[in-house]
Amino acid sequence: MACQNGHGEVVRLLLASSEIDVNQAKTTTGSTPLLMACQQGHAPVVKLLLASSEIVVNQARSDNGVTPLLMACTNGHTPIVELLLASSGIAVNQALTDTGSTSLFMACQKGHAPVVKLLLASSEIVVNQAQTTTGCTPLFQACQKGHVLVVKLLLASNGIDVNQARTTGGCTPLYMACQQGHAPVVKLLLASSGIDVNQHDKQNITPLNIASDRGHVEVVRLLLQQPNIDLNKEDDWNDSPLGGARKKNHTEVVQLLVDAGASDTQI
């Protein structure tokens, strides 16, 4: 309770007791004092707990596997993340037991760029570690949410797989950014070495197909600037980018595609 409420002096007194169990967890969820202090953003309390020789820094909740680091990253508590990453034995890639989400994944999902920067500086980080349930990577999640600064940090990381697709559906980070209309993110991805601009999902929908279907003019414009763009790829419903844009009455997108030389076999 003292750790949860940030009562530093009380925590200091309790830690001085010879009988104190610094890792004793709640019976309902398995939350430890360290986890609660991390959740609430009480950096001075976290610092006191980490100084204990008995602390188990990676002890996770029993219901979903949330660790202190994952909790701090999710909530964007940068000073606490810094303290935890400096701790001996910290497991930077330890994931949730239910979804497989890592600390990096959660920080990317929430758009906490300073936290992402700290995590990427760790020599142990696995930048492409995906959720076990969906196959979503940190890059995929950041692109889907439109977190430009986070995407920029990830693309500058060693070993980043810019084309790693979600296992459910087969969508790539570029596909998701195009679907959501995040033009600044699309621009970053297209400038990345090794990007596959035509990589389609399991229904043969390409980034250009989905951007055209959704009427995202600026995204379509960016894609059309790519020298190897497939203008006429048909999806499983036999819709090309031009056909999809026509069906939805996206007149500006239709004009862009026509000017680029696209054709529609259904006409």
- pLDDT tens digits for 13-29? 999 999 999 999 999 99
- What pLDDT is recorded for position 256? 98
Amino acid in the structure at residue 59: Q
128 within domain boundaries: no
- What pLDDT is recorded for position 233? 97
- Which residues have CB under 8 Å from 215's CB, separation 6+? 245, 248, 250, 252, 253
- What pLDDT is recorded for position 266? 57
91 within domain boundaries: no
Q: Which of 40, 64, 88 is the last residue of a domain?
A: 64
pTM of the model: 0.96
- What pLDDT is recorded for position 265? 63
H or E stretch covering 238: none
Q: Which of 64, 94, 110 is the last residue of a domain?
A: 64
CA distance 8 to 187: 47
Alpha-carbon separation of residue 47 from 4, 34, 87, 136, 264 (angstroms): 14, 9, 10, 33, 63
CA distance 60 to 83: 17
Whether 267 shows a pLDDT value over 60: the answer reads: no
Query: Mean pLDDT, the chain, as a whole number?
Result: 97
Where in the sequence is the domain holding 31, given as residue range(s)? 1-64
98 within domain boundaries: no
Confidence of residue 197 (pLDDT cuts 50, 70, 90): very high
- Mean pLDDT calculated for residue range 203-214: 98
* CATH code of the domain covering residue 249: 1.25.40.20
Number of separate domains in the chain: 2
Whether 245 shows a pLDDT value over 60: the answer reads: yes
pLDDT in tens, 143-187: 999 999 999 999 999 999 999 999 999 999 999 999 999 999 999
Q: Which of 42, 64, 86 is the last residue of a domain?
A: 64
Q: How far is CA 82 from the centre of its chain?
A: 19
- What pLDDT is recorded for position 100? 97
pLDDT in tens, 52-85: 999 999 999 999 999 999 999 999 999 999 999 9
- What pLDDT is recorded for position 264? 74
pLDDT in tens, 106-137: 999 999 999 999 999 999 999 999 999 999 99
**Chain length of the chain:** 267
Coil, strand or helix at 49: helix
CA distance 174 to 161: 12
249 within domain boundaries: yes
- Mean pLDDT calculated for residue range 181-195: 97
263 within domain boundaries: yes
219 within domain boundaries: yes
95 within domain boundaries: no
CA torsion through residues 120, 123, 124, 130, sign: positive
25 within domain boundaries: yes
